[in-house]
Amino acid sequence: MLPFLIGALRAIVEMLGLALLAQGVLYLIAGPGRQQNPVYRLFELLTRGPRRLLRMAVGPRPGEGLLGLWCFIILFFVWLGLALLRKSL
């Protein structure tokens, strides 16, 4: 049961990381008109939770680009940690 829960959590973290990566690519491609892009808004909706948690943990409001990058890095290490935990079971 525990390996299944770790795998499910890892899949959620992976989905959030890929959504952050795609949002970053659209940030670069769409430019200033990105807020009118429905796909960008979908990725923004999906990644709102992790970005909000990181913003509460960091304190002062960093730039949105840096916040997304740090959020991606943290999610990547959580994903790796879950992989190592699942392998050790």
Can you give the pTM of this predicted structure? 0.85
pLDDT at 62: 61
pLDDT at 58: 77
* Helix/strand/coil for 47: coil
Q: What is the pLDDT of residues 22-40, one digit of tens each?
A: 999 998 998 888 899 999 9
pLDDT at 46: 94
Cα separations in angstroms, 10 against 28, 32, 37, 73, 84: 27, 33, 28, 15, 11
Q: Which of 26, 6, 7, 18 is nearest to 75 (CA)?
A: 18
Domain boundaries, the chain: 2-88
